[in-house]
Structure 1
């Protein structure tokens, strides 16, 4: 316990904690009341729907390995719709939505002229940063779960559902495959947390939310381009996008969590570094709006 906590009355500390939770509730309420948020979630849900409908209407059967990973298995088992949609969405669609939400965290409030009013509350700058980041993290989870649920529903509606043959050749039950789908959603959510931290930092650098959103998306694209250049293989393990498609290891038997652990360590490092940079910038920033 710090000396400031000792000197600060318990009632004041409780009031600050209460204000922090109230601020988080307000942030999530505002985020998920926006039409823009729901429009992005609908767009994410359309990815597996369009994939499934296109495969259903196709008259030519897909050859093994043709198209995105798992696409050739969709007609045999609808549960693969969600897996295929996740592979398609990770490079662009999900980072685009995260870039919009994370880039808007601080810059959006500054652009609307509401930032200084938020800082009047007992929550303070540090708690405001934490609340904004948690809001972006919750959106990461909701977006991946939306894609997973939409894929499962449209897959069940258009194709047969049954035991899933994993990449290792083993077969698991439908219930086990649902649990694997949720685990993959958790993996992808974790993968996006580093980008969300970068977006939060960029958002503290400007009062123009569109600029922060665009810069966050550009950073995502650049990282993925660097990750495919063999000349920069030494850099690849340090790029936040390096393990984005590593969830394929979760479709093996026995369950391989090594990529999950490596991804968690990498994303945690990005959260710490860019969280510290965001704090350093925001704690000294003159709030004029």
Structure 2
């Protein structure tokens, strides 16, 4: 009789433990599926939709707390909250020290000296091309100076990687979060054959991604408006070499040398935002 009760109790305990584990597993699944946007994230999404973005194209990335857009750039969930905190008065002296394009605010003083840190997982073979990408941005305007730091905590941009065979993006970068600083990270997808690509194409890709860090969007897409003086999305959609910021990056005139490959529209866009001289 005692043995029978013992077996019965053991059976009940096993059932309860199994049910508990099942509930925990189910809750984990629900937590992973039913993640909801915060109030600030929803405000940012509403703001971007007002700017012309489709909600279907803004993919929430809960790990990074960003919206992935057009494959290779990410808007911070806190973008609109930061913009409201840093609201500027038109025609004020502060406005002259800050530019906005689709809400991506960067202070000139925070772009004069930008530091990047190469994470340990970044391929050493691509550091050369990255240094050239930083060089060309630094040479185009006196208000842009991008250099490497070996102290991670001092970096404005963390340069690293992710690995995904199902992700079509070769690289991805954070856009400015609206607090006056440049986008805080740039990653390449190591599932792609970067090693097999030419040095020029890799450099052009990295120039493109650094452009996102500085606040530039894709030149051939209509969302967010038009930088004054540039020829617009239709022109850039039809011209592969119209801008290094086209959504599909082409080598065009870029070479591993000190000779820049900027197009005339690139120069107009950079002059409008940062001043060339």
* TM-score in terms of structure 1 length: 0.26
Higher RCO structure, 1 or 2 (CA under 8 Å, sep 6+): 1
Higher gyration radius (CA): 2
